[in-house]
Structure 1
Amino acid sequence: MNKKLFARYAIREIMGLLIMAAALFIPAGRLDWPQAWAVLGIMLAWVAATAVVLLRIHPALIAERLGPHQGSKGWDGAIMSAVGLLQLMRYVLAGLDRRFAWSGIFPTGLQLGAFLLGAAGYALVLWATASNAFFSQIVRLQPERNQSVVTDGPYRWARHPAYTGAILFELAAPLLLGSWPAFFVSLFNIFLLILRTYLEDHTLQSELAGYADYAARVRYRLLPGVW
Protein backbone atom coordinates (compact mmCIF):
# COMPACT_ATOMS: atom_id res chain seq x y z
CA MET A 1 0.00 0.00 0.00
CA ASN A 2 1.24 3.45 -0.96
CA LYS A 3 1.45 5.31 2.36
CA LYS A 4 1.11 8.74 0.74
CA LEU A 5 -2.02 7.59 -1.07
CA PHE A 6 -3.57 6.29 2.14
CA ALA A 7 -2.61 9.51 3.94
CA ARG A 8 -4.50 11.51 1.28
CA TYR A 9 -7.50 9.23 1.73
CA ALA A 10 -7.38 9.53 5.53
CA ILE A 11 -7.10 13.34 5.39
CA ARG A 12 -10.08 13.54 3.04
CA GLU A 13 -12.22 11.41 5.35
CA ILE A 14 -11.16 13.29 8.49
CA MET A 15 -11.90 16.62 6.84
CA GLY A 16 -15.36 15.35 5.95
CA LEU A 17 -16.02 14.47 9.59
CA LEU A 18 -14.74 17.85 10.78
CA ILE A 19 -16.99 19.69 8.31
CA MET A 20 -19.94 17.62 9.47
CA ALA A 21 -19.15 18.41 13.12
CA ALA A 22 -18.87 22.13 12.36
CA ALA A 23 -22.19 22.08 10.49
CA LEU A 24 -23.85 20.57 13.56
CA PHE A 25 -22.25 22.30 16.53
CA ILE A 26 -21.66 25.84 15.26
CA PRO A 27 -25.35 26.50 14.41
CA ALA A 28 -26.37 24.76 17.64
CA GLY A 29 -24.04 27.01 19.64
CA ARG A 30 -23.16 24.19 22.00
CA LEU A 31 -21.16 20.98 22.28
CA ASP A 32 -23.33 19.25 24.91
CA TRP A 33 -25.58 17.60 22.34
CA PRO A 34 -25.49 13.79 22.80
CA GLN A 35 -27.54 13.04 19.69
CA ALA A 36 -25.11 14.92 17.45
CA TRP A 37 -22.21 13.02 18.99
CA ALA A 38 -24.13 9.80 18.34
CA VAL A 39 -24.53 10.65 14.63
CA LEU A 40 -20.84 11.55 14.43
CA GLY A 41 -20.04 8.30 16.22
CA ILE A 42 -21.86 6.28 13.57
CA MET A 43 -20.01 8.14 10.83
CA LEU A 44 -16.63 7.77 12.56
CA ALA A 45 -17.17 4.04 13.07
CA TRP A 46 -18.13 3.64 9.41
CA VAL A 47 -15.14 5.65 8.15
CA ALA A 48 -12.72 3.69 10.36
CA ALA A 49 -14.22 0.32 9.47
CA THR A 50 -14.20 1.19 5.77
CA ALA A 51 -10.52 2.11 5.99
CA VAL A 52 -9.78 -1.29 7.53
CA VAL A 53 -11.76 -3.06 4.80
CA LEU A 54 -9.97 -1.13 2.06
CA LEU A 55 -6.53 -1.73 3.54
CA ARG A 56 -6.99 -5.45 4.21
CA ILE A 57 -9.37 -6.58 1.47
CA HIS A 58 -9.52 -4.05 -1.38
CA PRO A 59 -6.43 -1.78 -1.28
CA ALA A 60 -6.83 -0.92 -4.98
CA LEU A 61 -10.08 0.86 -4.13
CA ILE A 62 -8.20 3.60 -2.30
CA ALA A 63 -6.60 4.79 -5.53
CA GLU A 64 -9.93 4.36 -7.32
CA ARG A 65 -11.69 6.58 -4.80
CA LEU A 66 -9.08 9.32 -5.03
CA GLY A 67 -9.33 9.53 -8.84
CA PRO A 68 -8.91 10.64 -11.54
CA HIS A 69 -12.20 9.16 -12.73
CA GLN A 70 -12.07 8.59 -16.46
CA GLY A 71 -15.39 7.61 -17.96
CA SER A 72 -17.48 9.05 -15.13
CA LYS A 73 -20.99 10.21 -15.92
CA GLY A 74 -21.90 13.90 -15.91
CA TRP A 75 -25.26 13.25 -14.29
CA ASP A 76 -23.53 11.41 -11.45
CA GLY A 77 -21.41 14.41 -10.53
CA ALA A 78 -24.48 16.64 -10.54
CA ILE A 79 -26.49 14.26 -8.35
CA MET A 80 -23.73 13.70 -5.80
CA SER A 81 -22.93 17.41 -5.59
CA ALA A 82 -26.58 18.03 -4.75
CA VAL A 83 -26.56 15.18 -2.21
CA GLY A 84 -23.50 16.63 -0.50
CA LEU A 85 -24.98 20.13 -0.31
CA LEU A 86 -28.27 18.79 1.03
CA GLN A 87 -26.47 16.76 3.67
CA LEU A 88 -24.62 19.88 4.79
CA MET A 89 -27.90 21.81 4.83
CA ARG A 90 -29.51 19.04 6.89
CA TYR A 91 -26.89 19.27 9.60
CA VAL A 92 -27.00 23.07 9.69
CA LEU A 93 -30.80 22.97 10.00
CA ALA A 94 -30.57 20.34 12.73
CA GLY A 95 -28.10 22.53 14.62
CA LEU A 96 -30.36 25.57 14.32
CA ASP A 97 -33.30 23.42 15.39
CA ARG A 98 -31.36 22.38 18.47
CA ARG A 99 -30.69 26.04 19.30
CA PHE A 100 -34.21 27.36 18.67
CA ALA A 101 -36.23 24.22 19.50
CA TRP A 102 -38.35 24.34 16.33
CA SER A 103 -39.29 20.66 16.50
CA GLY A 104 -39.90 20.36 20.21
CA ILE A 105 -38.94 17.23 22.12
CA PHE A 106 -38.56 13.93 20.27
CA PRO A 107 -39.45 10.69 22.12
CA THR A 108 -36.36 8.93 23.45
CA GLY A 109 -37.56 5.64 21.99
CA LEU A 110 -37.77 7.17 18.52
CA GLN A 111 -34.25 8.54 18.77
CA LEU A 112 -32.89 5.24 20.05
CA GLY A 113 -34.58 3.44 17.17
CA ALA A 114 -33.11 5.98 14.76
CA PHE A 115 -29.63 5.35 16.17
CA LEU A 116 -30.00 1.61 15.62
CA LEU A 117 -31.42 2.18 12.12
CA GLY A 118 -28.56 4.49 11.17
CA ALA A 119 -25.95 2.07 12.50
CA ALA A 120 -27.60 -0.80 10.63
CA GLY A 121 -27.64 1.28 7.45
CA TYR A 122 -23.93 1.92 7.47
CA ALA A 123 -23.24 -1.67 8.52
CA LEU A 124 -25.00 -2.68 5.30
CA VAL A 125 -22.89 -0.19 3.32
CA LEU A 126 -19.76 -1.67 4.91
CA TRP A 127 -20.85 -5.22 4.04
CA ALA A 128 -21.44 -4.18 0.45
CA THR A 129 -17.99 -2.54 0.34
CA ALA A 130 -16.30 -5.65 1.71
CA SER A 131 -18.13 -7.83 -0.83
CA ASN A 132 -17.39 -5.72 -3.89
CA ALA A 133 -13.84 -5.24 -5.17
CA PHE A 134 -15.16 -2.64 -7.64
CA PHE A 135 -17.04 -0.51 -5.10
CA SER A 136 -16.31 2.92 -6.55
CA GLN A 137 -17.88 6.10 -5.22
CA ILE A 138 -18.28 7.26 -8.82
CA VAL A 139 -20.56 5.69 -11.42
CA ARG A 140 -18.18 4.44 -14.09
CA LEU A 141 -16.97 1.17 -15.55
CA GLN A 142 -13.48 0.05 -14.56
CA PRO A 143 -12.08 -1.83 -17.59
CA GLU A 144 -8.53 -1.16 -16.39
CA ARG A 145 -9.36 -3.37 -13.38
CA ASN A 146 -11.25 -6.00 -15.40
CA GLN A 147 -14.52 -5.19 -13.67
CA SER A 148 -16.99 -8.06 -13.41
CA VAL A 149 -20.42 -8.58 -11.88
CA VAL A 150 -20.44 -9.08 -8.09
CA THR A 151 -22.98 -11.57 -6.73
CA ASP A 152 -21.67 -12.25 -3.20
CA GLY A 153 -22.72 -10.85 0.17
CA PRO A 154 -25.78 -8.60 0.11
CA TYR A 155 -25.66 -8.55 -3.69
CA ARG A 156 -27.37 -11.94 -3.55
CA TRP A 157 -30.62 -10.24 -2.58
CA ALA A 158 -30.45 -6.71 -4.00
CA ARG A 159 -28.41 -5.21 -6.82
CA HIS A 160 -27.55 -1.97 -4.98
CA PRO A 161 -27.45 -2.78 -1.24
CA ALA A 162 -25.15 0.14 -0.40
CA TYR A 163 -27.85 2.56 -1.53
CA THR A 164 -30.31 0.74 0.71
CA GLY A 165 -27.98 1.29 3.65
CA ALA A 166 -27.39 4.93 2.75
CA ILE A 167 -31.14 5.55 2.54
CA LEU A 168 -31.61 4.01 5.99
CA PHE A 169 -29.06 6.47 7.37
CA GLU A 170 -30.74 9.36 5.55
CA LEU A 171 -33.98 8.45 7.31
CA ALA A 172 -32.34 7.89 10.68
CA ALA A 173 -29.96 10.86 11.04
CA PRO A 174 -32.54 13.69 11.27
CA LEU A 175 -34.76 11.64 13.60
CA LEU A 176 -31.81 10.96 15.88
CA LEU A 177 -30.98 14.67 15.79
CA GLY A 178 -34.61 15.49 16.63
CA SER A 179 -35.29 17.80 13.69
CA TRP A 180 -38.27 17.73 11.33
CA PRO A 181 -36.82 20.39 8.98
CA ALA A 182 -33.70 18.22 8.62
CA PHE A 183 -35.92 15.19 7.99
CA PHE A 184 -37.64 16.90 5.06
CA VAL A 185 -34.23 17.73 3.56
CA SER A 186 -33.31 14.06 3.91
CA LEU A 187 -36.39 13.13 1.89
CA PHE A 188 -34.97 15.10 -1.06
CA ASN A 189 -31.69 13.24 -0.66
CA ILE A 190 -33.50 9.91 -0.63
CA PHE A 191 -35.18 10.84 -3.91
CA LEU A 192 -31.76 11.67 -5.41
CA LEU A 193 -30.27 8.38 -4.19
CA ILE A 194 -33.17 6.44 -5.72
CA LEU A 195 -32.67 8.36 -8.98
CA ARG A 196 -28.94 7.56 -8.91
CA THR A 197 -29.74 3.90 -8.27
CA TYR A 198 -31.98 3.81 -11.33
CA LEU A 199 -29.44 5.56 -13.57
CA GLU A 200 -26.51 3.49 -12.33
CA ASP A 201 -28.45 0.27 -12.82
CA HIS A 202 -29.36 1.32 -16.37
CA THR A 203 -25.69 2.10 -17.05
CA LEU A 204 -24.53 -1.27 -15.76
CA GLN A 205 -27.15 -3.18 -17.73
CA SER A 206 -26.08 -1.35 -20.88
CA GLU A 207 -22.30 -1.41 -20.43
CA LEU A 208 -21.16 -4.17 -18.04
CA ALA A 209 -20.97 -7.68 -19.48
CA GLY A 210 -23.10 -10.16 -17.55
CA TYR A 211 -25.01 -7.56 -15.55
CA ALA A 212 -28.25 -7.94 -17.51
CA ASP A 213 -28.26 -11.67 -16.71
CA TYR A 214 -27.56 -10.88 -13.05
CA ALA A 215 -30.46 -8.40 -13.05
CA ALA A 216 -32.73 -11.11 -14.41
CA ARG A 217 -31.76 -13.38 -11.48
CA VAL A 218 -31.73 -10.71 -8.75
CA ARG A 219 -34.84 -8.74 -9.62
CA TYR A 220 -34.76 -6.02 -6.99
CA ARG A 221 -32.53 -2.96 -6.91
CA LEU A 222 -32.91 -1.82 -3.30
CA LEU A 223 -35.45 -3.80 -1.29
CA PRO A 224 -36.42 -7.40 -2.05
CA GLY A 225 -40.10 -7.67 -2.85
CA VAL A 226 -40.49 -3.91 -3.37
CA TRP A 227 -38.09 -2.43 -5.98
Structure 2
Amino acid sequence: MPGGDRRPRARLEARGARRGGARGVVIWGAVYAGLVAALMVRVRSPDAPPPEPARVTPGEPVWLVTVHHLVFYALLAGAPLESAVTGGVDSGRAAGACLFALGVLGYRLAGRALGDALSAFIEPRAGVPLVTGGPYRCLRHPMYLAQAAIAVGAPLTVGCRSVLVLVPLALLVLALRVKLEDDALARTFPEYSRYASRTKRIVPFVF
Protein backbone atom coordinates (compact mmCIF):
# COMPACT_ATOMS: atom_id res chain seq x y z
CA MET A 1 0.00 0.00 0.00
CA PRO A 2 1.45 3.41 -0.91
CA GLY A 3 2.63 5.28 2.12
CA GLY A 4 2.54 2.13 4.28
CA ASP A 5 5.14 1.10 6.80
CA ARG A 6 8.28 0.01 4.93
CA ARG A 7 10.20 -1.14 8.01
CA PRO A 8 9.27 -4.85 7.73
CA ARG A 9 10.44 -4.92 4.13
CA ALA A 10 13.68 -3.17 5.08
CA ARG A 11 14.27 -5.70 7.85
CA LEU A 12 13.69 -8.59 5.43
CA GLU A 13 16.10 -7.08 2.92
CA ALA A 14 18.74 -6.57 5.60
CA ARG A 15 18.28 -10.15 6.81
CA GLY A 16 18.64 -11.46 3.25
CA ALA A 17 21.79 -9.40 2.76
CA ARG A 18 23.28 -10.82 5.96
CA ARG A 19 22.47 -14.37 4.87
CA GLY A 20 23.95 -13.73 1.43
CA GLY A 21 27.03 -12.22 3.02
CA ALA A 22 27.44 -15.15 5.38
CA ARG A 23 27.02 -17.59 2.51
CA GLY A 24 29.69 -15.72 0.55
CA VAL A 25 32.09 -15.89 3.49
CA VAL A 26 31.59 -19.66 3.70
CA ILE A 27 32.02 -20.20 -0.04
CA TRP A 28 35.13 -18.07 -0.38
CA GLY A 29 36.49 -19.51 2.85
CA ALA A 30 36.14 -23.00 1.38
CA VAL A 31 37.91 -21.89 -1.80
CA TYR A 32 40.70 -20.39 0.30
CA ALA A 33 41.06 -23.52 2.45
CA GLY A 34 41.23 -25.73 -0.63
CA LEU A 35 43.96 -23.62 -2.21
CA VAL A 36 45.99 -23.52 1.01
CA ALA A 37 45.71 -27.31 1.27
CA ALA A 38 46.86 -27.69 -2.34
CA LEU A 39 49.79 -25.41 -1.54
CA MET A 40 50.90 -27.10 1.67
CA VAL A 41 50.42 -30.82 1.06
CA ARG A 42 53.58 -32.49 -0.22
CA VAL A 43 52.84 -35.20 -2.79
CA ARG A 44 55.67 -37.67 -3.10
CA SER A 45 55.87 -41.06 -4.75
CA PRO A 46 55.77 -43.82 -2.11
CA ASP A 47 58.66 -45.56 -3.90
CA ALA A 48 60.90 -42.49 -3.90
CA PRO A 49 63.63 -42.43 -1.25
CA PRO A 50 63.49 -39.46 1.13
CA PRO A 51 65.83 -36.63 0.15
CA GLU A 52 68.85 -35.78 2.20
CA PRO A 53 67.95 -33.06 4.72
CA ALA A 54 69.12 -29.59 3.74
CA ARG A 55 71.92 -28.33 5.95
CA VAL A 56 72.81 -24.78 6.85
CA THR A 57 76.13 -23.81 5.30
CA PRO A 58 78.53 -21.24 6.79
CA GLY A 59 77.47 -17.73 5.88
CA GLU A 60 73.89 -18.75 5.13
CA PRO A 61 71.53 -15.80 5.86
CA VAL A 62 69.23 -17.76 8.15
CA TRP A 63 67.54 -14.52 9.19
CA LEU A 64 66.27 -14.04 5.62
CA VAL A 65 64.92 -17.59 5.46
CA THR A 66 63.17 -17.00 8.79
CA VAL A 67 61.65 -13.67 7.71
CA HIS A 68 60.53 -15.25 4.44
CA HIS A 69 58.62 -17.98 6.24
CA LEU A 70 57.17 -15.66 8.89
CA VAL A 71 55.85 -13.15 6.35
CA PHE A 72 54.13 -15.79 4.25
CA TYR A 73 52.69 -17.61 7.25
CA ALA A 74 51.40 -14.25 8.51
CA LEU A 75 49.75 -13.60 5.14
CA LEU A 76 48.14 -17.02 4.90
CA ALA A 77 46.97 -17.06 8.53
CA GLY A 78 46.13 -13.37 8.84
CA ALA A 79 43.86 -13.22 5.79
CA PRO A 80 41.17 -15.63 7.08
CA LEU A 81 41.41 -14.12 10.57
CA GLU A 82 40.73 -10.65 9.20
CA SER A 83 37.89 -12.03 7.09
CA ALA A 84 36.34 -13.74 10.12
CA VAL A 85 36.44 -10.49 12.11
CA THR A 86 35.41 -7.98 9.43
CA GLY A 87 33.53 -10.15 6.94
CA GLY A 88 35.79 -8.88 4.16
CA VAL A 89 34.79 -6.98 1.06
CA ASP A 90 33.26 -8.52 -2.06
CA SER A 91 35.25 -6.69 -4.71
CA GLY A 92 38.31 -8.50 -5.99
CA ARG A 93 37.53 -11.95 -4.57
CA ALA A 94 37.25 -13.73 -7.93
CA ALA A 95 40.38 -12.06 -9.31
CA GLY A 96 42.22 -12.88 -6.09
CA ALA A 97 41.16 -16.52 -6.25
CA CYS A 98 42.37 -16.81 -9.86
CA LEU A 99 45.71 -15.25 -8.93
CA PHE A 100 45.99 -17.48 -5.86
CA ALA A 101 45.19 -20.60 -7.92
CA LEU A 102 47.74 -19.67 -10.59
CA GLY A 103 50.31 -19.12 -7.86
CA VAL A 104 49.60 -22.52 -6.30
CA LEU A 105 49.82 -24.21 -9.70
CA GLY A 106 53.10 -22.46 -10.48
CA TYR A 107 54.48 -23.36 -7.06
CA ARG A 108 53.61 -27.04 -7.50
CA LEU A 109 55.06 -27.17 -11.02
CA ALA A 110 58.28 -25.50 -9.89
CA GLY A 111 58.55 -27.79 -6.88
CA ARG A 112 58.04 -30.85 -9.06
CA ALA A 113 60.75 -29.68 -11.45
CA LEU A 114 63.17 -29.07 -8.57
CA GLY A 115 62.61 -32.46 -6.97
CA ASP A 116 65.37 -33.14 -4.46
CA ALA A 117 66.95 -29.76 -5.27
CA LEU A 118 64.10 -28.05 -3.40
CA SER A 119 65.42 -26.37 -0.26
CA ALA A 120 64.39 -23.62 2.11
CA PHE A 121 67.93 -22.26 2.17
CA ILE A 122 69.83 -19.97 -0.20
CA GLU A 123 72.75 -22.27 -0.93
CA PRO A 124 71.91 -25.18 -3.27
CA ARG A 125 71.88 -28.72 -1.92
CA ALA A 126 75.18 -30.57 -2.21
CA GLY A 127 75.35 -33.17 -4.96
CA VAL A 128 72.20 -31.98 -6.75
CA PRO A 129 72.50 -30.88 -10.41
CA LEU A 130 71.37 -27.52 -11.73
CA VAL A 131 67.68 -27.64 -12.67
CA THR A 132 66.92 -26.15 -16.09
CA GLY A 133 63.80 -28.09 -17.12
CA GLY A 134 60.09 -27.48 -16.73
CA PRO A 135 59.30 -23.87 -15.80
CA TYR A 136 63.03 -23.34 -15.18
CA ARG A 137 63.51 -23.48 -18.93
CA CYS A 138 62.08 -19.95 -19.14
CA LEU A 139 62.72 -18.47 -15.68
CA ARG A 140 65.46 -18.92 -13.12
CA HIS A 141 63.13 -18.45 -10.15
CA PRO A 142 59.57 -19.42 -11.18
CA MET A 143 58.74 -20.52 -7.65
CA TYR A 144 59.19 -16.96 -6.40
CA LEU A 145 56.94 -15.60 -9.15
CA ALA A 146 54.34 -18.08 -7.92
CA GLN A 147 54.84 -16.94 -4.33
CA ALA A 148 54.37 -13.31 -5.37
CA ALA A 149 51.04 -14.25 -6.97
CA ILE A 150 50.03 -16.09 -3.80
CA ALA A 151 51.00 -13.13 -1.60
CA VAL A 152 48.66 -10.83 -3.53
CA GLY A 153 45.90 -13.29 -4.38
CA ALA A 154 45.42 -15.02 -1.03
CA PRO A 155 44.19 -11.96 0.94
CA LEU A 156 41.97 -10.82 -1.95
CA THR A 157 40.30 -14.24 -2.12
CA VAL A 158 38.76 -13.76 1.32
CA GLY A 159 38.13 -10.04 0.87
CA CYS A 160 40.97 -8.78 3.04
CA ARG A 161 42.66 -5.43 2.69
CA SER A 162 44.61 -4.77 5.91
CA VAL A 163 46.79 -7.88 5.50
CA LEU A 164 47.89 -6.54 2.11
CA VAL A 165 50.29 -4.21 3.95
CA LEU A 166 52.56 -7.28 4.25
CA VAL A 167 52.76 -7.73 0.47
CA PRO A 168 55.54 -5.14 -0.14
CA LEU A 169 57.65 -6.84 2.54
CA ALA A 170 56.99 -10.24 0.95
CA LEU A 171 58.05 -8.94 -2.47
CA LEU A 172 61.17 -7.34 -1.00
CA VAL A 173 62.14 -10.64 0.65
CA LEU A 174 61.62 -12.51 -2.62
CA ALA A 175 63.71 -9.97 -4.56
CA LEU A 176 66.55 -10.30 -2.05
CA ARG A 177 66.39 -14.09 -2.21
CA VAL A 178 66.55 -13.98 -6.01
CA LYS A 179 69.74 -11.89 -5.89
CA LEU A 180 71.43 -14.05 -3.26
CA GLU A 181 70.43 -17.32 -4.91
CA ASP A 182 71.71 -16.13 -8.28
CA ASP A 183 75.08 -15.47 -6.64
CA ALA A 184 75.08 -18.83 -4.84
CA LEU A 185 74.14 -20.78 -7.97
CA ALA A 186 76.81 -18.99 -10.00
CA ARG A 187 79.42 -20.00 -7.41
CA THR A 188 78.26 -23.62 -7.39
CA PHE A 189 77.59 -24.35 -11.07
CA PRO A 190 80.08 -23.25 -13.77
CA GLU A 191 77.31 -23.54 -16.40
CA TYR A 192 75.02 -21.15 -14.53
CA SER A 193 76.24 -18.01 -16.30
CA ARG A 194 75.35 -19.50 -19.68
CA TYR A 195 71.95 -20.57 -18.37
CA ALA A 196 71.37 -17.11 -16.87
CA SER A 197 72.23 -15.40 -20.16
CA ARG A 198 69.22 -17.01 -21.90
CA THR A 199 66.62 -16.78 -19.12
CA LYS A 200 64.93 -14.05 -17.10
CA ARG A 201 65.05 -14.04 -13.31
CA ILE A 202 61.43 -13.95 -12.24
CA VAL A 203 59.20 -12.04 -14.70
CA PRO A 204 58.90 -13.50 -18.24
CA PHE A 205 60.40 -11.29 -20.97
CA VAL A 206 60.98 -8.46 -18.47
CA PHE A 207 63.29 -9.23 -15.52
- TM beyond 0.5: yes
Q: Mark the CA change 1:72 to 1:37 in structure 2 (over 3 Å): closer, same or farther.
A: farther
Decide whether the 8 Å contact of 2:122 with 2:180 is kept in 1: no
Query: What is the DSSP-based 3-state SS (H/G/I as helix, E as strand, rest coil) of the residue aligned with 1:179?
Result: coil
Deviation of 1:151 after TM superposition, in Å, equals 1.6
2:141 matches 1:157: no
Match for residue 124 of structure 2?
141
How many corresponding residue pairs?
A: 181
**Which moves more between the two structures, 35-44 or 183-192?**
35-44
Deviation of 1:120 after TM superposition, in Å, equals 1.0
Decide whether the 8 Å contact of 1:72 with 1:140 is kept in 2: no
Structure 2: which 5+ residue stretches go unaligned?
A: 1-24
Match for residue 17 of structure 1?
none
Decide whether the 8 Å contact of 1:111 with 1:177 is kept in 2: yes
Q: Mark the CA change 1:137 to 1:213 in structure 2 (over 3 Å): closer, same or farther.
A: same
2:16 matches 1:39: no
Aligned partner (choices 178, 184, 202) of residue 222 of structure 1: 202
Structure 1: which 5+ residue stretches go unaligned?
A: 1-31
Match for residue 55 of structure 1?
45
Identity of aligned residues (%): 21
Task: Work out which of the two has the higher radius of gyration on C-alpha atoms and give 1 or 2.
Answer: 2
Decide whether the 8 Å contact of 1:160 with 1:222 is kept in 2: yes
Deviation of 1:194 after TM superposition, in Å, equals 1.5
Q: Mark the CA change 1:114 to 1:56 in structure 2 (over 3 Å): closer, same or farther.
A: farther
Match for residue 106 of structure 1?
90
* Deviations 1:16-73, CA, capped at 9 Å, x for gaps: xxxxxxxxxxxxxxxx64333322211212333x41xx3269x45x434xx3514265
Decide whether the 8 Å contact of 1:149 with 1:214 is kept in 2: no
Match for residue 65 of structure 2?
80
Deviation of 1:97 after TM superposition, in Å, equals 5.0
TM-score after normalising by structure 1: 0.70
One-letter amino acid matched to 2:60: G
Residues of 2 paired with 1:92 and 1:84: CA distance?
14
TM-score after normalising by structure 2: 0.76
Aligned partner (choices 176, 179, 186) of residue 195 of structure 1: 176
Residues of 2 paired with 1:80 and 1:215: CA distance?
23
Match for residue 96 of structure 1?
82
Q: CA RMSD in A?
A: 2.4
Q: Mark the CA change 1:87 to 1:74 in structure 2 (over 3 Å): closer, same or farther.
A: same
Decide whether the 8 Å contact of 1:71 with 1:141 is kept in 2: no
Q: Mark the CA change 1:176 to 1:73 in structure 2 (over 3 Å): closer, same or farther.
A: farther
Deviation of 1:121 after TM superposition, in Å, equals 0.9
One-letter amino acid matched to 1:212: S
Decide whether the 8 Å contact of 1:205 with 1:212 is kept in 2: yes
Residues of 1 paired with 2:55 and 2:123: CA distance?
8
* Deviations 1:111-158, CA, capped at 9 Å, x for gaps: 112111111111111111222231222222333x3x222221111111
Residues of 2 paired with 1:56 and 1:223: CA distance?
34
